[in-house]
Amino acid sequence: MQETLQLLIELQEIERKIQALAEQKARAPKQIAVLEEEEKNTEATLVEKQQMLESILKSHRELEREVDDFEGRKAASKQKLIGVKSNKEYQATLKEIDDIEGLVRGREDQIIEQMETAESLEKEIKEQKRLVTEARERLKREGTQLGKEAKKADKLIASLEEQKEQLKPRIPADLLKKYQFIRANRGGVALAPVHTGACQVCHMNLPPQIFIDLQRNEKMMYCPNCQRIIYWMGHEAYRQSSQVLGEQE
């Protein structure tokens, strides 16, 4: 009975490891997707800032053309002053020049403001380019690492599957079938260690007589609450069996 229980403990450890490795592999595509999304977002932010800068520079050029146009109109108005013959016309021309100068000042203020914004954006773009480079390198680096880990997991799973297939014929068929049934219906855990009189999976205390019988290690026993196969952790053989594969991690 002890040898059979040891085999079941080892089988459960093997299947636990296979499941853990499979879950690790399943997380890899999600991790890569997160990295790809980060790269996409940093690139989108860069494009957005570049478009903002281009829009500001375009507006800047338009304002400069307007200033040139106003300066031309102001020069024409000043030339016009030379030939005016009445005070009324003279005052009107002076007002025209003053209005144009007001428009020029307004445009120049906008130009200065845009230059400051453009300078700030250029710094942000430089930093954003750095972030894009980092995101791309991180995706490449971690994607490569995840790929290596997936290959390693495949090899380990194959090795564990081989160990499992070698182990199964050594377990009585009826007991193996019962183990598989319990495992399928109890969250992938068919065996439960017992410590200080309590099942370490469902955490229910065993009736005193059942715990005494369990320590005798004379027959296969089950938790009255969760129906899992139970074994006493105080037996050295079972502790060693449950640690065999753990030491191989």
Q: What is the pLDDT along the chain (249 residues), one digit of tens a residue?
A: 688 999 999 999 999 999 999 999 999 999 999 999 999 999 999 999 999 999 999 999 999 999 999 999 999 998 888 888 889 899 999 999 999 999 999 999 999 999 999 999 999 999 999 999 999 999 999 999 999 999 999 999 999 999 999 999 999 999 999 999 999 999 999 999 999 999 999 999 999 999 999 999 889 999 999 999 999 988 876 765 544 433 333
Q: State how far the Cα of 223 lies from the Cα of 213, in Å rounded to an integer.
A: 12
- How high is the pLDDT of residue 85? 84
Verify that 211 and 227 share a domain, yes or no.
yes
Q: State how far the Cα of 226 lies from the Cα of 200, in Å rounded to an integer.
A: 11
Query: In terms of residue numbers, what domain contains 114?
Result: 16-168
Query: For the CA atoms of the chain, what is the radius of gyration?
Result: 40
User: Of the candidates 116, 150, 168, which is a domain's last residue?
Assistant: 168
- Residue 88 in 3-state DSSP? helix
- How high is the pLDDT of residue 1? 67
- How high is the pLDDT of residue 241? 52
Kindly state whether residue 9 falls inside one of the protein's structural domains: no
Verify that 81 and 190 share a domain, yes or no.
no
Verify that 139 and 182 share a domain, yes or no.
no
Verify that 51 and 120 share a domain, yes or no.
yes
Verify that 35 and 157 share a domain, yes or no.
yes
**DSSP 8-state symbol, 224:** T
Q: Cite the DSSP H helix spans in the chain.
A: 2-82, 87-167, 173-185, 208-216, 236-243
Kindly state whether residue 4 falls inside one of the protein's structural domains: no
Phi, psi of 232 (to 5 degrees): -85, 125
Verify that 231 and 124 share a domain, yes or no.
no
Verify that 185 and 135 share a domain, yes or no.
no
Verify that 177 and 152 share a domain, yes or no.
no
